[in-house]
């Protein structure tokens, strides 16, 4: 079937194209040239607003508001919580945390133990009294000698010649005295017969007295030189042990303490032990009191000593009482001039308290410690210390066993400062 192209006129309106669904019916006659009018096509669909109910709009706005509010809350609460946490941390840091320790009793089961210096009962440095050369020595170190025992001999040729000269001078003086006596006797006889004047007789008598004085002076000089010659023999002044021999044969010997020490003698059968007792324990020391003595050269050995005397005065330098003890050393088991330890039994009725050394504050008011009161505030207390044991010190006054004393206190510690106690730091100080 052929499509018929419609004819158009000037007044005709172009007909729109038909779709495949449009059907054309052929007509005969004049009307065939006119196209058959089709129904007016629908205009193109344009987007139009669909009316939304008011209730739906309200619900949408509410949801959006809730979402916005939730977002705000999710952002605000974490920041607020962080602020509160930071504020709490700052408040915590504003209160310092301290470690504390309680004063403990000073453990001294052996009583009062003090260092001591052990010295010989007697000792002497032996010097020469005569110039010369050492001829020989007969006592070496470690020799136990008796009083007046020979230690060495000194050769003194110059002194020997001086003694010979003094003897000759004495003989001359004695001869002059003999002549003066004869002359005085004769002049006294002549004076009886008035053969000489009284003045001349008096002069002869004075000559005799002068000669007698000269003899006495020469005798004294000779005895002095004899005494010096006797010092050729160096002897022990008392019984003891030779601890030093500082010369040998042929050495030049110079008299006096300005010369060389020949020997050093120590009496060690008994020993003197000197100990310095602290002022706090000075009243507990009295003559006749017994004590135990130990020495490094005798580990495990304990010697007994007796207090013989004290200085009866506190030293202004060391604030101690110098005490002397006597120890029997007849077996020579204790070496003189050594150090030891003296233990006084039952020196104190009650043990003192001790604190670590790092609790002390050195202030202008003296030694102080920081004590934490029950309300967790600081109280600065002045203390009086006794013996120093190194890591701990003895506290004589100022604290009690129930106090909590701050360790490693800062210089900024003041009264009334609030603090916090470290829970794991509370302990009792031990010596």
Q: Give pLDDT, residue 25.
A: 41
Q: CA–CA separation, 244 vs 265, rounded Å?
A: 7
Q: Do domains 98-107+351-421 and 157-231 have the same CATH topology?
A: no
The CB density around residue 266, as the number of other CB atoms within 10 Å, is: 19
Q: Give pLDDT, residue 275.
A: 96
Q: 364, 368, 373: which is closest to 409 by C-alpha?
A: 368
Strand partners, 271: 120, 327
Strand partners, 303: 293
For every residue of 295-329, which 3-state class applies, written as one string? CCCCCCCCEEEEEEEEEEEECCCCCEEEEEEEEEC
Q: What is the CATH number assigned to the segment(s) 157-231?
A: 1.10.287.470
Q: 236, 232, 261, 254: which is closest to 155 by C-alpha?
A: 232
**Global pTM exceeds 0.75:** no
Domain boundaries, the chain: 98-107+351-421, 157-231
Helix (H, G, I), strand (E, B) or coil at 417: coil
Backbone phi and psi for residue 363, each to the nearest 5 degrees, phi listed first: -115, 170
Tell me 28's DSSP state: -
Q: 111, 115, 144: which is closest to 273 by C-alpha?
A: 115
Q: 385, 287, 337: which is closest to 122 by C-alpha?
A: 337
Strand partners, 380: 370
Q: CA–CA separation, 132 vs 253, rounded Å?
A: 5
Q: CA–CA separation, 178 vs 220, rounded Å?
A: 19
| Helix H or strand E segment including 84 | helix 54-94
pLDDT per residue, tens digit, the chain (431 aa), is 444 344 443 444 444 444 444 444 444 444 444 444 444 555 554 554 545 456 666 677 777 777 777 766 666 667 767 766 776 666 556 678 888 888 887 665 557 889 999 999 999 999 999 999 999 999 999 999 999 999 999 999 999 999 999 999 999 999 999 999 999 888 888 888 888 888 888 888 898 999 999 999 999 999 999 999 999 999 999 999 999 999 999 999 999 888 889 999 999 999 999 999 998 888 889 999 999 999 998 888 999 999 999 999 999 999 999 999 999 999 989 999 999 999 988 655 556 788 999 899 988 888 999 999 989 899 999 998 887 888 888 888 889 888 999 998 888 888 888 888 887 666 666 65
Return the beta strands (E) in 357-419 as ranges. 361-363, 366-372, 378-382, 384-388, 392-397, 405-406
Rounded to 10 deg, the angle between the 157-192 and 198-230 helix axes is 160
380: its two tokens: 């600065």
Tell me 143's DSSP state: -
Q: What is the CATH number assigned to the segment(s) 98-107+351-421?
A: 2.40.420.20
């Amino acid at each position: 079937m052929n499509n018929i192209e419609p004819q158009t006129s000037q007044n005709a309106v172009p007909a729109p194209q038909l779709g495949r669904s449009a059907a054309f019916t052929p007509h005969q006659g004049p009307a065939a040239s006119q196209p058959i009018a089709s129904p007016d096509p629908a205009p193109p669909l344009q987007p139009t607003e669909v009316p939304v109910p008011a209730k739906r709009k309200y619900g949408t706005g509410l949801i959006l508001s809730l979402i916005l509010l939730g977002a705000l809350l999710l952002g605000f609460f974490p920041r607020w919580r962080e602020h509160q946490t930071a504020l709490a941390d700052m408040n915590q840091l504003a209160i310092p945390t301290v470690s504390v320790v309680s004063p403990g009793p000073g453990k001294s089961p052996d009583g009062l133990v003090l260092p001591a210096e052990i010295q010989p009962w007697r000792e002497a440095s032996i010097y020469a009294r005569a110039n010369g050369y050492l001829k020989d020595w007969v006592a070496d170190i470690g020799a136990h000698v008796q009083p007046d025992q020979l230690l060495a001999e000194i050769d003194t040729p110059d002194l020997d010649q001086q003694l010979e000269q003094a003897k000759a001078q004495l003989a001359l003086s004695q001869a002059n005295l003999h002549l003066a006596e004869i002359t005085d006797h004769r002049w006294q006889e002549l004076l009886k017969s008035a053969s000489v004047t009284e003045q001349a007789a008096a002069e002869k008598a004075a000559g005799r007295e002068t000669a007698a004085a000269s003899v006495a002076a020469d005798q004294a000089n000779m005895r002095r030189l004899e005494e010096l010659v006797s010092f050729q023999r160096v002897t022990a002044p008392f019984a003891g042990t030779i601890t030093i021999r500082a010369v040998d044969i042929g050495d030049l010997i110079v008299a006096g303490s300005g010369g060389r020490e020949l020997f050093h003698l120590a009496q060690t059968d008994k020993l003197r032990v000197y100990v310095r007792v602290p002022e706090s324990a000075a009243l507990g020391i009295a003559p006749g009191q017994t004590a135990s003595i130990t020495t490094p050269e005798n580990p495990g050995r304990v010697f007994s000593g007796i207090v013989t005397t004290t200085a009866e005065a506190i030293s202004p330098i060391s604030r101690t009482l110098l005490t002397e003890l006597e120890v029997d050393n007849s077996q020579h088991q204790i070496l003189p001039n050594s150090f030891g330890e003296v233990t006084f039994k039952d020196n104190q009725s009650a043990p003192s308290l001790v604190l670590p050394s790092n609790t002390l504050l050195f202030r202008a008011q003296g030694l102080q410690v920081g004590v934490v009161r029950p309300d967790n505030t600081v109280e600065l207390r002045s203390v009086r210390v006794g013996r120093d044991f190194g890591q701990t010190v003895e506290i004589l006054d100022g604290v009690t066993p129930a106090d909590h004393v701050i360790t490693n206190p800062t210089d900024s510690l003041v009264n009334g400062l609030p603090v916090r106690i470290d829970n794991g730091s509370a302990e009792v100080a031990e010596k």
